[in-house]
Amino acid sequence: MFETINFDEKFADYTAQWADQHRKEYKNFDAMEADLPKVYLRFLNTPASWLDGVTPGAFFTQYEDPKDLVDWLIAYDQAGVPVPELLLEQITTVGKPCEKRLVALLRDERASASLRMTAVGLLRDLESTQPKMLYISWQLNRAEDDELADNAVDSLREMGRGVIAPMLEALPKANEAGQAALLDVLVNYPGYEPVYQATMRLFKNQPERCALFASYLGKLGDERALPELERRAADRATGYVDWIELRSAIERLGGTAPERDFSDDPDWEALRGAGE
C-alpha cells in the first residue's frame, strides 16, 4: 500500500551527480564535503521525477493521517529500507494525533526492536506521557542489558514528577536490574524512604557497580549513607576508580573520604599517566 522509496539512496545519487558537475570548483575533498549541507538543502527543494515532480522536502507533508504515517513507518521497517528522516519529521509535525498509534506499536511485540526504539524516540520528541505505565512495566523483569528498556528510562526521566508515584509503586516489584533502572530516575527526587532503602540495598549487594550506586546515594543527600560509603572507600578491595566516585559522594554528604595508597593500582597508574 505504501511505497517505500529509499531517500538515502536518492540523495547519494544526487550528491554523486552534483560532485561530478562541481568537482573543479573545489581544491580538495574536505572542501567539497563542507558544502554537503547546502547540497542537501538543494536536494530537498528540487522537484524530483521519482516523486512525480514533488520536491523531496515537501513529499511527506502531503500526508496528515496519523494511522497512515505510522503504518508507513512500519512498512519501511518491514521492507528493510532506511526510514526517511523526512517521514519522522512529518510524524512529529502532525504530533499528538500520532501518539495512540505509536503507543500501539510499542505494545506490538512482533514489531522489530529498531522500530520500537524509533517509536520511543518519536513519543519523547512529542513530550508524550501516554506510555509511562508501559515504560515502567518494561523495567519490572528486565535484563541487565536491554536497549529498549533503557531508552524508555530516558523518556521517563524527561516526564518529570508525574512518574514518581507509579515508579515508587513498581520499585519493590522489580528485579535488581529493574530497580537500578527505576532508581536512575527516582534518585533525582530525594526524600522518599523506599528510594533510599533500595539504593542502599543495591549498593551493598552489587559491589561491582559500586560507583553507580555511590553516585545515587550522593544525589539523595541522606547522611545515613556515610558510614557505608566510608567503609567501602576504606576497603583495600575497592579500586581507585570506584574510590573516586565514593569520595565524591562522601564529600557531597559532608563527610571526608579515608585516604588510601593506590600506588599498586593499575587504574591509578593509568590515570596518572594520562594526566589525572
Of the two residues 71 and 23, the one the predictor is more confident about is: 71
What is the reported pLDDT for 262?
82
Summarised one tens digit per residue, pLDDT across range 48-103 is 999 999 999 999 999 999 999 999 999 999 999 999 999 999 999 999 999 999 99
Q: Which residues contact 9 (CB under 8 A, 6 or more apart)?
A: none
Contact 156, 132 (CB under 8 A): yes
Phi, psi (5° rounding) for residue 181?
A: -65, -45
| pLDDT at residue 131 is higher than 50 | yes
Q: Quick one: average pLDDT of 267-272?
A: 68
**What's at 105, amino acid-wise?**
L
Report the pLDDT value the prediction gives residue 96, as an integer from 0 to 100.
96
Cell of 59: 513529499
Q: What percent of the chain has pLDDT over 90?
A: 82
pLDDT in tens, 185-197: 999 999 999 999 9
Which pLDDT band holds residue 35 (cuts at 50, 70, 90)? confident
Q: Is the pLDDT of residue 274 over 70?
A: no
Please answer whether residues 45 and 54 qualify as being in contact, where contact means their C-beta atoms are separated by less than 8 angstroms. no
To the nearest whole percent, how much of the chain has pLDDT over 70? 95
pLDDT in the model for residue 271: 67
Taking only the tens place, the pLDDT of each residue in 223-260 is 999 999 999 999 998 989 899 999 999 999 999 999 98
